[in-house]
């Protein structure tokens, strides 16, 4: 392999890696009832509207939750 073709392969690999790095979105929030009281241990379901990605988590001790590492798209949270 020549220096020129080795450099080209290196640049292609660097570029390809950056294309897959765009998946670091997250959803975070707090679960409260109608009176505003925090709800610990609530189940949160997240569904991607285009790709159908499904994720679940539970709210923590103070009703907060975080769902990290989501693909960029529109989600339905329930």
Q: What is the pTM of this model?
A: 0.66
Q: Is residue 36 helix, strand or coil?
A: coil
Which DSSP letter does residue 10 get?
H
Query: Mean pLDDT in runs of 10 for the chain (78 residues)?
Result: 55 50 79 93 93 92 92 90
């Amino acid at each position: 392999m020549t220096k020129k073709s080795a450099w080209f392969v290196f640049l292609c690999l660097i570029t390809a890696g950056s294309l897959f790095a765009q998946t670091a979105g997250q959803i975070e929030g707090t679960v409260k009832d109608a009176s505003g009281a925090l709800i610990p241990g609530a189940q949160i379901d997240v569904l991607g509207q285009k790709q159908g990605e499904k994720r679940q988590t539970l709210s923590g001790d103070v009703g907060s939750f975080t769902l990290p590492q989501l693909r960029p798209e529109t989600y339905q949270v329930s």
